[in-house]
Amino acid sequence: MAKISVKAQTVPRWKLSDLLAHPHKDFDKLCISLEKQVSQLEKLRPRLTQDVSTSLFQQAYELKNSITEISATIHAFAFLWFAENTQQQSARAFKGTIREQLTNFENRILFLDLWWQGLKPQRTKLLLRQSGTLQYYLETLTRLKPHTLSETEEQIISVKDSTGRNAMEMLYGVLTSGFKFSLTIDGKVHSLSREELSTHARHTSARRRQAAYQELFRVYEDNRNVIGEMYKTLVLDWRNEGVTLRHHPTPIAVRNRANDIPDQAVRALLTTCRKNASLFQHYFRLKAKLLKRKTFTRYDLYAPLQTRTSTYSFHEAWKIVEESYQQFSPHLAQLAKQVITERHLDAQTRPGKMGGAFCYSVTPHLTPYVLMSFNGQPRDVSTLAHELGHAVHGMLAKKHSVLTFHSSLPLAETASIFGEQLLSEHFLNQERKAQSKRALLVNQLDDLYATILRQSYFVEFEQIAHTMIGEGATIDALAKSYLQLLREQFGRAVQVPKEFQWEWLSIPHIFGSPFYCYAYSFGNLLVLALYQRYKQEGPSFIPKYLNLLSAGGSASPESLLKPLKVNIRSENFWQEGFRRIEDLVQALEKTMP
């Protein structure tokens, strides 16, 4: 595998040839291999009975594992090719082609998991002892048995999703990634992508910030009828399948069961977040004083304290991230570097590129891929640390099956957020000036607001929206409800202009992954508590933390956290994370001029 020097790069762009070197040619070859293995598995079907032998059971799931690895590779290439330029027709066409093909293969092997769910408990217990790294996957199938339909019904849903829900999500991505925003800078009108526009929402100029937000929501408001109807369709689809057909008690319970998180734990998390809204309101009052703003508005939320902000080359940003990881664990630093040297990172800013940032762990033995848009801002350094955290998490879990190396969504944020904490600590330790330390504390608290309280309120909105849409609510009614929740979370500390009622239209997660966002609140508060323990325990904490990451998705989050004495069902535990935030707010108060 060809590697490159990190220093030799400007801003890197990934190569996807480690997945498919020649898309259509390699795809055809892999489809032949898939057809062969799927056919082999289908031939085993008559022999899969209640008294199946251990060797036949293992053979069947070895085939399932291999089929999943090949399918994951093809799907990853199609998605990443699309993500690097959502406007490229050939990438969109290829994505549609493979979606159809893979759905066909998935439907043909669906019988295997349904057979497992139909086994008697005594037989299940016996085979679980021989299942190796697949044990938790099989336990999950058993747990989800009450929400599983017949084979024919499951096949119909799979086909329906291919041309329904999945197609709608892609259309949302194509539409919104193609948006252009106009912003006047120094008398000249600039046409910007959303990623480029977002840097101006953190500008030192209050007018620039306001203009950036107003332009963002002008475009989304202009498109509210199309995007809003997309959302309503996706919500109804989620409810029809998850609640009506699969008999989950509520729309959010569908996500909780998939995450293997007890409803009680999610309620405790969201309740604790809502109770602590006043803590962030207090912080925003402090920030208003530091900015000398009599009226602190939502435009000012992420305003930097310094009139001049540092900018970084990509190489400088990487070296800072590498050093912060190295001080904690040289092994983590080496894994993070591997992503870059193998050219699995795309950080260039380009028209048509998918917005936001993500890490895609494909299979246990393939270095993950990371997408972000690097503009040289301090926030980009944090994003790099965050996404590389996701990558090292997947790489540490490589000993597990492709079916169990992905952690559940709430724990999936652990390594990424921990990486950001390491970076923040690194910056604070390097800084000697009180004014600069104050700016770093403000940046950290801004990020904690964005990734804890803001995310939990997205989920609060989703719960209300799913109910409202089920009752026939209009797009304008949803916007009004969203604005009411915004004003609740900010209280009197932050004035919220009316155009922010359209913000929900711009949040991809609530379209593509309903109720996903509490994973950020979960992950951040968990990491804040764990980071405090690291500060108290020192090096002895590191192996326990690495063991947690290495477990991947091989057990439930609750089970994986027990060795660390974490009780996710208790509001007291989640409050531990807010106590750390309270300490940071108090530290900021001590620096107030």
Q: Is the pLDDT confidence value at 151 over 50?
A: yes
- Residue 2 pLDDT grade (very low, low, confident, very high; cuts 50, 70, 90): very low
Percent of the chain clearing pLDDT 90 (strictly above):
82
**Sheet (strand 358-360) strand order:** 345-346, 369-371, 358-360
Torsion angle, alpha carbons of 50, 56, 59, 64, to 10? -20
> Mean of the pLDDT values across residues 235-259?
96
H or E stretch covering 271: helix 263-275
Range of the domain at 136: 23-166
Q: Is residue 391, in this structure, part of any structural domain at all?
A: no
Residue 57 confidence (pLDDT): 96
- Residue 4 pLDDT grade (very low, low, confident, very high; cuts 50, 70, 90): very low
Q: Is the pLDDT confidence value at 9 over 70?
A: no
Q: Would you say 76 and 14 are in contact if contact means Cβ atoms under 8 Å apart?
A: no
The Cα–Cα gap between 84 and 90 comes to: 12
Query: What one-letter code names the amino acid at 352?
Result: G
Beta-ladder partners of 360: 369
H or E stretch covering 108: helix 89-108
Q: Would you say 437 and 591 are in contact if contact means Cβ atoms under 8 Å apart?
A: yes
Q: Give me the phi and psi of 433, to 5 degrees please.
A: -80, 135
297-320, pLDDT tens digit by residue? 999 999 988 756 678 999 999 999
Instruction: Using alpha carbons only, give the angle 387, 389, 395 rounded to the nearest 5 degrees.
Output: 110
> How far lies 144's CA from each of 160, 217, 247, 557, in Å?
21, 40, 11, 16
- Residue 8 pLDDT grade (very low, low, confident, very high; cuts 50, 70, 90): very low
H or E stretch covering 345: strand 345-346
Tokens of 291: 């900015």
Query: What one-letter code names the amino acid at 215?
Result: E
Residue 449 confidence (pLDDT): 97
DSSP 555: S
Residue 309 confidence (pLDDT): 67
Q: Strand 188-192 and strand 345-346: pairing?
A: unpaired
Q: Is residue 210, in this structure, part of any structural domain at all?
A: no
Identify the residue whose tokens are 């959302």. 231
Q: Is the pLDDT confidence value at 149 over 80?
A: yes
Q: Is residue 57, in this structure, part of any structural domain at all?
A: yes
Q: Is residue 94, in this structure, part of any structural domain at all?
A: yes
Q: Is residue 310, in this structure, part of any structural domain at all?
A: no
The Cα–Cα gap between 503 and 35 comes to: 45
> Mean of the pLDDT values across residues 182-187?
94
Q: Which range (3-17, 328-342, 565-579) has the least confidence?
A: 3-17
The count of residues in the chain is 593
Percent of the chain clearing pLDDT 70 (strictly above):
98
DSSP states along 149-190: --HHHHHHHHHHHHHTHHHHHHHHHHHHHT--EEEEETTEEE
Q: Would you say 273 and 261 are in contact if contact means Cβ atoms under 8 Å apart?
A: no
Domain count within the chain: 1
Within a 10 A sphere around the Cβ of 414, how many other Cβ atoms? 26
Residue 5 confidence (pLDDT): 46
Q: Strand 369-371 and strand 358-360: pairing?
A: antiparallel
The Cα–Cα gap between 469 and 478 comes to: 8
Q: Is residue 215, in this structure, part of any structural domain at all?
A: no
CA-nearest of 413, 13, 377 to 204 is 377
Q: Is residue 144, in this structure, part of any structural domain at all?
A: yes
Residue 592 confidence (pLDDT): 85
H or E stretch covering 475: helix 475-490
The Cα–Cα gap between 313 and 320 comes to: 11
Spell out the residues 6+ positions from residue 139 whose beta carbon is closer than 8 angstroms to its own: 128
Q: Is the pLDDT confidence value at 321 over 70?
A: yes
The Cα–Cα gap between 474 and 18 comes to: 46
Instruction: Using alpha carbons only, give the angle 240, 355, 300 rounded to the nearest 5 degrees.
Output: 100
Q: Give me the phi and psi of 346, to 5 degrees please.
A: -115, 110
355-392, pLDDT tens digit by residue? 889 999 999 999 999 999 999 988 899 999 999 999 99
205-214, pLDDT tens digit by residue? 999 999 999 9
The CATH number linked to 141 is 1.20.140.70
Q: Is residue 386, in this structure, part of any structural domain at all?
A: no
Query: What one-letter code names the amino acid at 158?
Result: S
The phi-psi region of residue 132 (left if phi > 0; otherwise alpha if psi is between -120 and 50; otherwise beta) is left
3-state secondary structure of 61: helix
The Cα–Cα gap between 456 and 178 comes to: 28
The Cα–Cα gap between 514 and 555 comes to: 23
- Residue 195 pLDDT grade (very low, low, confident, very high; cuts 50, 70, 90): confident
Q: Strand 188-192 and strand 181-185: pairing?
A: antiparallel
123-139, pLDDT tens digit by residue? 999 999 999 999 999 99
> Mean of the pLDDT values across residues 221-242?
97
Q: Is the pLDDT confidence value at 504 over 50?
A: yes
As a whole number, the mean pLDDT across the chain is 93
> Mean of the pLDDT values across residues 271-290?
97
Q: What is the distance of C-alpha 478 from the center of its chain?
A: 24
